[in-house]
Chains A and B, each alone.
Chain A
Amino acid sequence: MPAIPQSNERPRKWGRILMFIVVIWILATITALILLGNAGKQEAANANVAVIAVKGVITGDSSDDFFSSSVASSSQIVATIDQVEQMPNIKAIILEINSPGGSAVASEEIARKVKESKIPVVAWVREIGTSGAYWVASSSDTIVASPVSITGSVGVIGSYLNFGGLLENYNITYERMVAGKYKDLGSPLREMKPEERALLQKKLDFMHDYFLKSVVESRKLSPQQTEQVKTALFFTGQEAKDLGLVDVLGGRQEAIAAAEKYINATATLHEFKREKTIFDLFAQASASSFFHVGQGIGDAMMTRTEQNSLTIST
């Protein structure tokens, strides 16, 4: 019986084709990356208004780039503002805010940088700009928000889950071993004592006062307005305008118009983003489901980790 012809040829052929396709894709991506770098530089050199995004939860570091792309890193935003200030062609900044707030320290870092900025800053609140994100916005020269956007919520939260009862149900005990009376203050593995609660509340109150003071100073709020803002209630854009928390009601066009007032010229925008790495571009080019699945898992992991420990956020 004759042998079946070309038994190994077919898989080898498809292997070679697949390899060829992958090589083309990699080369195209590398070429695109080089051209994209030039395109970005070209656009930035022609712009007079820088757009900097504050999107997602505000955090300090940017080490969690891959899994949490929906994070606004204070170190990155501050570095971008620094970079923009060095560019002689950039005359104003539009902060595109879409964030529920986040870490108190990170929010304060951005807010301080915005306040100290050498060029005018317009904060454009899109869907949400609450808590720490509002802290950032309040430090700008003009705040633009949609009448139906959510803003305000000038408060501090330190709530966490207490697993003490759950551990007890499973006969697991928490062996407390600390050097320093309050070392495990806020541990989710045991019930908090009234004395500890009072201590923690005092610290939250201090942070709240600091946050509120900053907003009141920046927005020049009256005592009546301050009383309403102090409750940490969130407001719609319209309510915020009535309260003096927002200057202009509107969207992108109004934000551009506000920036144009500062520069006395027609605005040419350029969005300043984190420099794209080759990995970013590969991820973007593939736009495949594994990336988004990975991102989802990563976000879920991040959230779980954050919930399991005491974090104070604005």
Chain B
Amino acid sequence: MPRKKKDSNDLDSSLNLPLRRMVVVEAPVWKRALALLADLVILDFIVLGAFNQIFNQLVPESSPFTIMQSIEQNSKILMLLSVTIFMIGLFMLAYFMVMEYMYGQTLGKMLFNIRVQPEAISWWQILVRNIAVLPVMPFVLLWVIDPLMLLFKKQRLSDQFAKTTVIEEIEVY
């Protein structure tokens, strides 16, 4: 679905105000991190909340070591847990993909006024840039690589593959 461009200058020009211009800059890392955090909080309510009961039932109340041991010993529980975690990943992926395709930004990005570029983004590009959400090898490696790339190269590896960037629009007069 094509997104409409903002055109706030129409009103300003009729009021004879100084012209406003939008300057596009690369979104700062801290804004991207906080936007992701906000998205995770939202997803915690809508996705993780629903699956919470399964973890309560499958994971015994014990020390982490005992929990790991008892899960490893029971292959069926291990499989069920894996399916649950994968389904959570799928729902999270669906959230990021649909929001970015429809509006170019997730709710977290809206909060910090940052968006994904290019505007005419394809489903394939969105899938590639969000694939790290799926808790499956080798995509989980991106959990380490992406933050490091973002810190040192200013662009995640997933963004490089998808040929996308995250930008911030700043109003200047």
Contact = CB atoms under 8 A, between A and B. Distances in A.
Interface stretch (A13-21, A67-75, A105-113): A13-21
A228 to B, nearest CB: 39
B96 to A, nearest CB: 11
A35 B74 CA distance: 17
Interface string B70-103: 0000101100100110011001001100110011
Nearest to B45: A25
Interface in B47-77: 47, 49-54, 57-58, 74, 76-77
A32 B53 contact: yes
Contacts of A40: 57
B47 A39 contact: no
B76 A35 contact: no
B54 A32 contact: yes
B46 A21 contact: yes
Contacts of A4: 11
Interface residues of B, number: 33
Q: Name A's interface SS.
A: helix
A25 B57 contact: no
A29 interface: yes
B107 A17 contact: yes
- Chain A interface residue bracket vs B: 20 to 34
B122 interface: no
B171 interface: no
Nearest to B7: A5
Contact of B46 (A25, A31, A38): A25
A24 B46 CA distance: 7
Interface in B15-62: 42, 46-47, 49-54, 57-58
A279 to B, nearest CB: 14
A17 B107 CA distance: 9
A172 B72 CA distance: 72
A20 B4 CA distance: 20
B111 to A, nearest CB: 13
Interface of B: 4, 7-8, 10-11, 14, 42, 46-47, 49-54, 57-58, 74, 76-77, 80, 83-84, 87-88, 91, 94-95, 98-99, 102-103, 107
Given A24-B47, A28-B51, 20 more contacts: A4-B11, A9-B4, A17-B107, A21-B46, A24-B91, A25-B46, A25-B50, A28-B47, A28-B50, A29-B50, A31-B50, A32-B50, A32-B51, A35-B51, A35-B83, A39-B80, A42-B77, A43-B58, A46-B74, A284-B52
